[in-house]
């Protein structure tokens, strides 16, 4: 017995467009209804059990945005997805549509392959909404008879992390079980089983060690990693807000070295951000920077042969290169962009783009049509060469970005000679900021009158620190549990 055909409504006031798209989608296996006006569309939405609507923005009388508002009065985005079609060059109408509850958009003339990819993504969301509860995994369970699970250390966007013990060797490890909703097909599960260890394992002292991979008793993929202790860079930034250049260099050098090693092995991280940089401690208490979640973003994305949609791209948009936001093919240079955003954030306490939205599509559109705030405006005290290197890493064109080792070298060189501003680890209530804010919104590092020396940096967290759990506020994927969470 064949699968029922998805029921789609196309709304467009141009009859030729309507007829052509309807026939093309019918040939692709969709059951298509059509409407040439807003009122007709609303009548069909009320009368027929539809699964998706393709809605033209610009229509006479009742516009597509008005139709969308009426639909959202009774049907939510997961109940009835709406994809907006627009011929306008300005993306403001798209942003408005997404804010009003549209699931996605396409630009006219419509590329059928792109439209179908976005339709499939929207229909998958309907199938799993409301999402069934994921399998409950409790302490004491064993995976493959090899790993005994202990306490849950944290939950992030990619998976849930548990403390575990290798049954035979009695070694402590961390186990990350990937979220069920990220694996929307058997193809994705097979891909993880085939590529999991090789795609995520980077042989470098500053990359988290991947020890094993497998599947749970009900088919969920998992990774076994070294168990680490310490906070993430995200948690240090939440505490300190802005880092000294010397401290930023301490983190940037091993971060760039680990990514460079991965790129030489053909592995692109695709989700570099502070939450995936761990400030771990070794057995002697010495800090070791560890980069987490290598390769997972690639394994969770569609096949390279399929057009990607923004909501199918795994990662955090605020740290994502333009080519990644556009769903284009990307390489290691997209990681360089993400390192540039991370450096910018460490040195300013802010993101390069002021606009922030929880909607991934809106965030991506705003970043693609904007330019990052110049680092030198927020930190006029920093050396010009350093500012130029960080801003070059944020260049829209991948070929204009410096190499990772060049970027790290510039940061390290200036960190050795730069005269740090006063950075009191403990400040009086009336001087709770290490920066003054100018009339233009720039952060100017505060120096004590007559001071020529930088004060000692704030003390580092003690080994074994367990940081607070919770959302990182960036659409990111913190596992909480700091070092023992081993990955975001």
Residue 472's pLDDT is what? 36
Residue 369's pLDDT is what? 83
pLDDT(453) > 50: no
Residues facing 224 on adjacent strands? 175, 212
The label of the residue with tokens 């060797």 reads 169
> Which has the closest alpha carbon to 31: 51, 61, 58, 2?
51
Residue 188's pLDDT is what? 56
Q: Which residues contact 223 (CB under 8 A, 6 or more apart)?
A: 159, 175, 176, 178, 196, 197, 200, 210, 212, 213, 296, 487
Residue 299's pLDDT is what? 57
Q: Is the pTM of this model over 0.75?
A: no
Question: Of all helices (H) and strands (E), which one includes residue 43?
Answer: helix 38-47
Residue 90's pLDDT is what? 55
Q: Is the Cα torsion angle 75, 356, 258, 276 positive or negative in sign?
A: negative
Long-range CB contact pairs, 455-458, < 8 A, 24+: 455/422, 455/423, 455/424, 455/425, 456/425, 457/244, 457/246, 457/247, 457/423, 457/425, 458/240, 458/423, 458/425
Of 133-142, 269-278, 445-454, the range with the highest mean pLDDT is 269-278
Catalytic member of 56, 93, 271, 477:
271
Which of 249 and 217 is assigned the larger pLDDT? Answer: 249
Average pLDDT over residues 258-266: 92
Residues facing 148 on adjacent strands? 142, 165
Based on the number of CB atoms within 10 Å of its own CB, is 251 exposed (0-12), middle (13-18) or buried (19 or more)?
buried
- Active-site residue, 436 included: no
Report pLDDT digits (tens) over 264-281: 988 888 889 999 999 999
Sheet with 172-178, side-by-side order of all strands: 142-143, 147-155, 159-166, 172-178, 221-226, 210-215
Q: Which residues contact 21 (CB under 8 A, 6 or more apart)?
A: 10, 12, 54, 110
């Amino acid at each position: 017995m064949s699968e029922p055909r998805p029921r789609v409504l196309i709304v467009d006031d141009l009859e030729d467009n309507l007829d052509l798209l309807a026939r093309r989608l019918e040939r692709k296996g969709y059951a298509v209804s059509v409407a040439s006006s807003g009122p007709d569309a609303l009548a069909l939405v009320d009368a027929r059990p539809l699964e998706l609507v393709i809605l033209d923005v610009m229509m006479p009388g009742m516009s597509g945005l008005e139709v969308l508002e009426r639909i959202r009065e009774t049907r939510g985005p997961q109940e009835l997805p709406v994809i907006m079609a627009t011929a306008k060059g300005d993306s403001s109408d798209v942003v408005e549509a997404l804010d009003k509850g549209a699931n996605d958009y396409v630009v006219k003339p419509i590329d059928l392959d792109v439209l179908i990819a976005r339709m499939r993504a929207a229909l998958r969301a309907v199938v799993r909404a409301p999402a069934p509860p994921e399998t409950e995994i409790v302490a004491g369970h064993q995976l493959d008879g090899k790993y005994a699970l202990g306490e849950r250390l944290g939950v992030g966007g990619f998976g849930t992390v548990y403390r575990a013990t290798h049954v035979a060797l009695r070694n402590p490890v961390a186990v990350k079980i990937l979220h069920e909703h990220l694996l929307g097909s058997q193809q994705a599960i097979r891909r993880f089983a085939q590529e999991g260890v090789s795609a995520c394992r980077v042989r470098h002292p500053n990359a988290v060690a991947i020890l094993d991979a497998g599947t749970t008793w009900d088919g969920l993929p998992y990774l076994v990693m070294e168990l680490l202790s310490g906070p993430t860079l995200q948690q240090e930034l939440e505490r300190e807000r802005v880092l000294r250049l010397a401290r930023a260099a301490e983190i940037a050098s091993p971060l760039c070295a680990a990514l460079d090693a991965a790129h030489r092995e053909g592995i692109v991280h695709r989700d570099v951000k502070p939450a995936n940089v761990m400030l771990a401690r070794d057995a002697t208490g010495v800090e070791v920077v560890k980069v987490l979640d290598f390769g997972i973003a690639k394994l969770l994305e569609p096949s390279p042969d399929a057009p990607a949609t923004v909501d199918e791209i795994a990662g955090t948009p605020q740290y994502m290169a333009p080519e990644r936001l556009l769903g284009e093919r990307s390489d290691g240079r997209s990681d360089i962009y993400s390192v540039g955003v991370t450096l910018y954030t460490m040195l300013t306490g802010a993101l390069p783009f002021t606009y922030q939205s929880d909607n991934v599509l809106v965030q991506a559109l705003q970043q693609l049509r904007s330019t990052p705030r110049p680092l030198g405006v927020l930190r006029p005290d920093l050396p010009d060469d350093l500012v130029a290197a960080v801003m070059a890493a944020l260049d829209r064109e991948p070929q204009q970005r410096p190499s990772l080792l060049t970027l790290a070298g510039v940061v390290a060189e200036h960190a050795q000679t730069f005269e740090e501003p006063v950075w009191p680890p403990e400040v009086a209530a009336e001087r709770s900021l290490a920066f003054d804010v100018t009339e233009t919104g720039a952060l100017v590092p505060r120096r004590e009158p007559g001071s020529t020396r930088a004060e000692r940096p704030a003390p580092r967290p003690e080994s074994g620190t367990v940081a607070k759990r919770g959302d990182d506020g960036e659409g990111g994927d913190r596992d909480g549990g700091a070092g023992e969470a081993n990955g975001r």
